[in-house]
Amino acid sequence: MSDSNPITIVIFGGSGDLARRKLFPALFNLYGKEQLPTPFHIVGAASSPRSDEELRTILCKGVMEAAGQDFDEEQWSAFAQQIVYAQIDLTQPRDFARLKEQLQTLEQGSANRLYHLAVDPEYFMPAVNNLQASGLHQADAGWRRLVIEKPFGHDLASAQELNQCIEAVFPEGEVFRIDHYLGKETAQNILFLRFANLIFEPLWNANYIDNVQISVVENVDVGERARYYDHSGVLRDMFQNHLLQLLSLIAMEPPASFDADAVRDEKVKVLKSILPVAIDETVRGQYHGYRQAQYVAADSQTATYAALKVQIDNWRWQGVPFYLRSGKGLAEKSSEIVIEFKRPPHLMFALPPAQKLTPNILYICIQPDEGIHLQFEAKEPGSLQATATVDLEFHYRTSFKDSVLADAYERLLLDAIHGDATLFTRRDGIEAAWRVIDPILQGWQGEDAPPLASYEPGSWGPATADALLARTGRAWRHGCCEHEA
Ligand code: BG6
């Protein structure tokens, strides 16, 4: 099998929201950068009857919106010629038999194939089973790979069932479970910050770090996704995947190489070292007005906000709290990681006591102002011994002026095409993450569940989330967007 074969990318859910907003714009950009293998075909598969031309028109709109002023019409016309439509009911084996014939006619010989499941999760297993029943999973001179979107299961049991179903059809090395946070440049940079530099790693442990905070906050409400969201809630939607993935990048040991399994082994070890989260160290909230959204139950208990205190039970992180928070309907859209260092043990200056000094803080800004800020103390000019808090800042937009940060999907699709699974979640990683989240979900159903705190849209979430840190004299930090150069 060779990467120089022609390739066919089959996108199930080929006219859906994700395909229009993310997948096709990413594929079009890769085409523009001449990074797609040639020759290639893209098959958009969905349930409605429509022609190739109708699909292309639908997709063009999404690509134009994503490209803005940079949209190149001529390039689109050439790219669009390679897109065809396939009508398919994912529960019907005969439709897969028809797809098989369509692919054979299109490819005229052997080709590599990437099957991308961008459909509702209830169709994941039927689609995988039908790929097998039709023989579409079978490699010949070309490989067969499966890309699968989240949500990967609803809980541990359903994730295991899905994993078993996939494992029976595709070898793990050909399965690419997407967590788009891992495709973000700034998330990838965590490994470079830590392991391509010397100065941080010696301090990266319980001796010097007081606490770590991971915040992924959104100002949007659930919008048109309420039907999905009301059954999911913030823990399944954001914590089981994105937040725990960011945590594992921050907390993992250095892998021996930048190889998919070496990196994922270390990440999984972190997830497996997380202690059961104490229910009284969790906060759940719901923004005011959520229950009025269409498809949301009038008495919905779904959390649109959560904050957790997570402890990692290993040598490096003993006693260091990791505070995680995420929610919708909040004050802004930003994702950042805060590493708060301990204060100096002894002060030779006539300053407030050491415990009152502002600690050194490293802010890793995932979005929107991508970069890294290091906050430290400096002598205030003209004063005898007073200090002021100052920042060393790195911004992608100023340090890498000419390079636009590519959308996460560009990188992830390209990696799947090249068979590099480093930025994808492995089976054991998915299950380890559910082992952290499942007991919290269960705890939230029980007698000791924290109250579902209501918060105002546009705020920073429930006051109980501040109280969670205040118990130990700490506070949420927010530094990335406030200190722009
Ligand atoms: C998705 C969630 O995985 O991530 C959404 O399902 C959320 O609810 C989105 O809005 C956030 O991603 P980003 O890249 O916009 O931070």
Residue range 148-205, pLDDT digits in tens: 999 999 999 999 999 999 999 999 999 999 999 999 999 999 999 999 999 999 999 9
The pLDDT tens digits for 401-422 are 867 788 899 999 999 999 999 9
CA distance 93 to 271: 38
* The 7-12 sheet, strands edge to edge: 83-87, 40-46, 7-12, 112-117, 144-148, 175-177
Averaged pLDDT of the chain: 95
Q: What is the pLDDT of residue 425?
A: 97
Contact 12, 90 (CB under 8 A): yes
Ligand 1, from 17, 177, 242: best to mutate by most atoms within 8 Å of Cβ?
A: 242
| Catalytic position from the list 231, 242, 395, 418 | 242
Q: What is the pLDDT of residue 404?
A: 74
Q: What is the pLDDT of residue 44?
A: 98
Nearest-CA residue for atom 13 of ligand 1: 181
Residues in the chain with pLDDT values less than 50: 483-485
> In the chain, what percentage of residues exceed pLDDT 70?
98
Q: What is the pLDDT of residue 485?
A: 37
Ligand 1, from 17, 152, 180: best to mutate by most atoms within 8 Å of Cβ?
A: 180
CA distance 421 to 295: 37
Q: What is the pLDDT of residue 484?
A: 42
Nearest-CA residue for atom 14 of ligand 1: 181
From the CA of 150, give the closest atom in ligand 1: 3
- Residues with a CB atom less than 6 Å from ligand 1: 150, 180, 218, 237, 335
Q: What is the pLDDT of residue 2?
A: 60
Q: What is the pLDDT of residue 1?
A: 57
From the CA of 241, give the closest atom in ligand 1: 3
Strands 334-341 and 387-395: unpaired
From the CA of 218, give the closest atom in ligand 1: 10
Q: What is the pLDDT of residue 347?
A: 85
Contact 328, 221 (CB under 8 A): yes
Q: Which of 390, 402, 379 has the alpha carbon at shortest distance from 485?
A: 390
Q: What is the pLDDT of residue 481?
A: 64
Q: What is the pLDDT of residue 348?
A: 87
Q: What is the pLDDT of residue 385?
A: 86
Query: Distance from the CA of 213 to the center of ligand 1, in angstroms?
Result: 19
Output the pTM of the full model: 0.95
From the CA of 222, give the closest atom in ligand 1: 8
Distant-in-sequence contacts of 222-226, Cβ < 8 A, 24+ apart: 222/290, 222/293, 222/296, 222/304, 222/328, 226/293, 226/294, 226/295, 226/296
Nearest-CA residue for atom 5 of ligand 1: 237
What tokens appear for 331 in the block? Answer: 């004050």
Placement of tokens 């395909």 in the chain: 19
Verify whether residue 418 is a known catalytic residue.
no
The DSSP letter of residue 425 is B
Query: Distance from the CA of 180 to the center of ligand 1, in angstroms?
Result: 8
CA distance 474 to 320: 12
